[in-house]
Amino acid sequence: MLDDRKLAVLRAIVEDYVSTNEPVGSKALADRHNLGVSPATIRNDMAVLEEQGYIAQPHTSAGRVPTDKGYRLFVDRLSTIKPLSIAERRAIETFLSGAYDLDDVVGRTVRLLAQLTRQVAVVQYPSLTRSAVRHVELVPVAEGRLLLVLITNTGRVEQRVIETGQISEESIGHLRALLNTCLDGLGLGEVPAAVADLPDRVGPDERPVAAAVLSVLLETLVEKHEEKIVFAGAANLAAVDFSQSLREVLVALEEQVVLMRLLGETGDSSTVTVRIGTENPDLGLKSTSVVAADYGVGDLTLARLGVLGPTRMDYPSTMGAVRAVARYVGQILAGS
């Protein structure tokens, strides 16, 4: 374990290196930070930090840079996550509250995160399996055809066309009312059991249509919906940090499966998670760090969002921005 003074030296090295992108020497630390000790003592502390793998000497430079292990300790020992300013919070709220549907919410969120953090932003769409039914609509679109519209509490909208044959407006209205009475507020996993006897609840003339609607509804629920992920801000990677590995990072970002693994599993919605360098599962992302958080409605976690950038990132500010945006997205979905 490092004592408080060595932790303060490590913290100063991380902050200076993130700010300047230059290896940090003992004299610069003594000049820029009120560490209360001489440059010679700082040099001794830096030697211990290097020996224990928290900092490293690049090439023949006299200065030191943090390693993945050093960044990890820095993040783990953060006493506070930098809060956003009042102006930033108002701008986020105004920008996101103008969204008119789920696609717009996700699109605005990913652009906003990229702008706030100057990193690559990644946003996962709410999972259909974690959603509940808000409304079911049956709309005649042509003779003998209905459009089934399933709207969830997370803003997802699923649409399917059903071949029904002749059916009256009155029968459509009856079936629509019956579906909404049965399904309103139910989790999507509960729907199959709730509508299993749907054809038995209608008259003989309506049973063929009810059976067709039921079949399409269940197909919609059991289909394996690919977890959709969007990202923005790839141009932010055009920095010196990625002079050697930028191509590998961009290739990794093109893979949806990689992005899913990148964001990680959902967990405690109040926690911002950070993966640093070699902690990332994909070889192409060993020079990056990922900051991610869950978003959801109330106690229900729906999906995750986050940012990817070089390991030399401003962790307190990035973590604050990711946490704030995740909270606002949840509030927008809860009120939608």
- Name the pLDDT band for 16 (thresholds 50, 70, 90): very high
Predicted local confidence at residue 110, as pLDDT? 95
CA distance 204 to 207: 5
Token representation of residue 198: 């749907």
Predicted local confidence at residue 329, as pLDDT? 92
* Between 299 and 225, the higher pLDDT residue: 299
Pairing, β 133-142 against β 145-152: antiparallel
Burial class of residue 145 in the structure, from the number of CB atoms within 10 Å of its CB (0-12 exposed, 13-18 middle, 19+ buried): middle
CA distance 216 to 224: 14
Beta-sheet strands, E only, within 168-218? none
CA angle (332, 194, 176) in 5-degree steps? 70
125-179 pLDDT tens trace: 887 677 788 899 999 888 888 999 988 887 778 888 998 878 888 888 999 999 9
Predicted local confidence at residue 72, as pLDDT? 95
246-283 pLDDT tens trace: 778 888 887 777 777 778 765 665 689 999 998 987 87
Contact 276, 75 (CB under 8 A): yes
Predicted local confidence at residue 115, as pLDDT? 93
What would the 3-class secondary structure string for 125-151 be?
Answer: CCCHHHCEEEEEEEEEEECCEEEEEEE
Predicted local confidence at residue 217, as pLDDT? 86
Mean per-residue pLDDT over the chain, rounded: 86
CA distance 23 to 27: 12
Predicted local confidence at residue 248, as pLDDT? 80
What is the CB neighbour count within 10 angstroms for residue 258? 17
Residues in contact with 70: Cβ distance below 8 Å, sequence separation at least 6, in sequence order: 10, 13, 14, 49, 53, 54, 55
75-118 pLDDT tens trace: 998 877 888 889 888 989 899 888 888 888 999 999 999 999 99
Pick from 218, 231, 1: which is nearest to 119 by CA? 231
CA distance 71 to 313: 10
* Helix, strand, or coil (residue 64): strand
46-60 pLDDT tens trace: 999 999 999 999 877
208-222 pLDDT tens trace: 888 888 888 888 776
> What is the arithmetic mean of pLDDT over 9-13?
95
Residue 101 φ/ψ region, left for φ over 0, alpha for ψ in the -120 to 50 degree band, beta for the rest: beta
Q: For residue 66, is pLDDT > 70? A: yes
CA angle (159, 165, 171) in 5-degree steps? 75
CA distance 5 to 334: 46
Residues in contact with 87: Cβ distance below 8 Å, sequence separation at least 6, in sequence order: none
- Name the pLDDT band for 227 (thresholds 50, 70, 90): low
- Model confidence, pTM: 0.78
Pick from 272, 227, 234: which is nearest to 252 by CA? 234
Q: For residue 223, is pLDDT > 80? A: no
